[in-house]
Amino acid sequence: MAKTRMVTQFGMGTSIRSQNYTEAAARGIRDALWHNSLNAADAFGFPKEAMLIEVEIGVQHPDKVDSDALLGIFPYGQPSVRVVKGGLDVAKPDGSGVSVIANVAIIVSFDMAAAGAASTSSTPGQSAGGQS
Amino acid sequence: MSEQRIILEMGTGNDLYGMDYTKAACRAVHDALHHSSIVMFQSLGIDHHQMRVEVTIAVQEPDAVDTDAVARELPRGRAEVTVVQGGLNVHDEASGQTHVIASAAIAAMLDIDHDAWQLCQS
């Protein structure tokens, strides 16, 4: 077993008027995903379903994010969502509320190893090399 | 061993008041680059110099882009810059101002031996 990080994607999303933290997070996820076309699964000959997708979201009110609603954005892979206190809320000039900014990081990994070592490896493939 | 595209990064940049196509192109490259980090080079112990980087810039005046200056913005891998007709210019007749918008597509290419890596059995 060796969960190996391949690519980290970054995004930012906002909810300007409705203070919808889930929508801000969803826009941040789309910003991160749709700036990139990730070919890592094909490049290594792995099925896309083997992609382990860790989603980390920073907003000022983590409890107001509906994590389950965010999972449906991902077209493939095995997503999981973690929400922490972060992002930024900006007070509106008329005092009627805040504009919400969500920061998003999406970490794509595979449980993989150099060929021949897959069943015995227990550490990330730092020294695996494999480019023979 | 065959060359594979591991990621296509896309971005946009502009130069609002200088009509500097090279500056817009460089900003598009930064936008494309900084929405992802290809951590597999560290994870798998691959030297980033093995990566070939195909950079395509699109602006309305391709000849006005300094491709060497754009190539210097790529911190890793071996960059090749191509400029094509595209992007968008936004012109204001009243003020005579033109805003220049550039698109950037950055493909990271790497030789990968499919037989060298496999998924772990879960």
- The answer for residues whose C-beta is within 8 angstroms of residue A86's C-beta and 6 or more apart is A57, A58, A59, A60, A103
Whole-number pLDDT of residue B122? 62
Q: What is the pLDDT of residues A15-52, one digit of tens each?
A: 999 999 999 999 999 999 999 999 999 999 999 999 99
Tell me the pLDDT band of A118, cut-offs 50, 70 and 90. low
Question: For residue A9, which residues of chain B lie inside 8 Å, CB to CB?
Answer: 35-36
Specify the CATH number for the domain of residue A44.
Answer: 3.30.1330.20
Beta-bridge partner residues of B89: B100
CATH of region B2-116, choose from 3.30.1330.20, 1.10.486.10, 1.10.150.80, 1.20.1420.20: 3.30.1330.20
Question: For residue B37, which residues of chain A lie inside 8 Å, CB to CB?
Answer: 7-8, 10
Rounded mean pLDDT of A88-106? 96
Whether the ipTM is more than 0.90: the answer is no
The count of structural domains within chain A is: 1
Q: Is residue A128 part of a domain?
A: no
B111: nearest CA partner in chain A: A131
Tell me the pLDDT band of A128, cut-offs 50, 70 and 90. very low
Range of the domain at A72: 3-111
Tell me the pLDDT band of B121, cut-offs 50, 70 and 90. confident
User: Does the beta carbon of B72 lie under 8 angstroms from any beta carbon of chain A?
Assistant: no
- Smallest Cα–Cα separation from A82: which of A60, A106, A100, A101? A106
Burial level of B59, CB count in 10 A (0-12/13-18/19+)?
A: buried
Q: Is residue A43 part of a domain?
A: yes
Q: Is residue A121 part of a domain?
A: no
DSSP assignment, residue A132?
Answer: -
Whole-number pLDDT of residue B1? 75
SS (H, E, C) A56-121: EEEECCHHHCCHHHHHCCCCCCEEEEEEEECCEEEECCCCCCEEEEEEEEEEEEEEEEECCCCCCC
- For B20, the 3-state DSSP assignment is coil
